[in-house]
Every structure is written in structure tokens, then in C-alpha cells.
Amino acid sequence: GAVVSQHPSWVICKSGTSVKIECRSLDFQATTMFWYRQFPKQSLMLMATSNEGSKATYEQGVEKDKFLINHASLTLSTLTVTSAHPEDSSFYICSARDRGFGNEQFFGPGTRLTVL
């Protein structure tokens, strides 16, 4: 299957700082990328959907000014958590869809964010 990478795998930051997480599709072009958040022992919660070259579509209740998403190319999407606070601490997972794989979605390894 296709490979999706995320960087960094974990990050610890002080409250009030901004953190950027990168998501890359390594061997395919991802026309659509997704960002999820996962709380302990819960399933994934979709935050937003981004298509290359256009603005992201955010799910209800997700602050777009808080979670900035940029999908500048067919292989890269970034999530920036602005002015992070302890309640933003979570596991963030990106995903990419490739139409060449029958709309199969491939997931990155996740980024553990801890805000002190």
C-alpha cells in the first residue's frame, strides 16, 4: 500500500506557542487529505478535509483559526495549531486518499502533541 508520513512524531511545547505538523504522501499524489484528532481510548474524530490548492473544509465545532490547514501540493499538507493550550494536547493523525487505489485512505503514524 501507499505510504503517508508525518513529522514530527511527537512534540512538547509551551502554552501560547504555535506548532506545525507536516503530512506527506510519499509514493502517490493525494488529491484529498484529512486531519483527525484522537482522544485516549476513542475513535478518530475528523477535523477537516483539504483538497490541493483550495481551502480546507472544517467539521462542525472545529475552529479554523485555531487549526490552520494548508494543502499546498499534491504530496504535502500541514496542520498548524496556533496559540496552543493544554486542552489541545492530543494525538493528531493525517490521512491521504488516492483515487488510483480505489479511493482507499492511507494514514500517517500520528503526532503526539503535549502542551504544557
The type of residue at 98 is: D
Q: How far is CA 40 from CA 43, 53, 64, 116, in A?
A: 8, 33, 23, 18
Kindly write out the interface string for residues 20-39 of this chain, putting x where it contacts another protein by CB under 8 A and - elsewhere: ------------x-x-----
Count CB neighbours of 77 within 10 A: 30
- Residue of the chain from 46, 63, 83, 85 that contacts another protein (CB under 8 A): 46
CB 90 within 8 A of CB 11: no
Kindly write out the interface string for residues 67-86 of this chain, putting x where it contacts another protein by CB under 8 A and - elsewhere: --------------------
Q: Does 60 bind another protein (CB under 8 A)?
A: no
Please report, as ranges, the residues that interact with another protein according to CB under 8 A: 1, 6, 32, 34, 43-44, 46, 49, 91, 93, 95, 101-110, 112
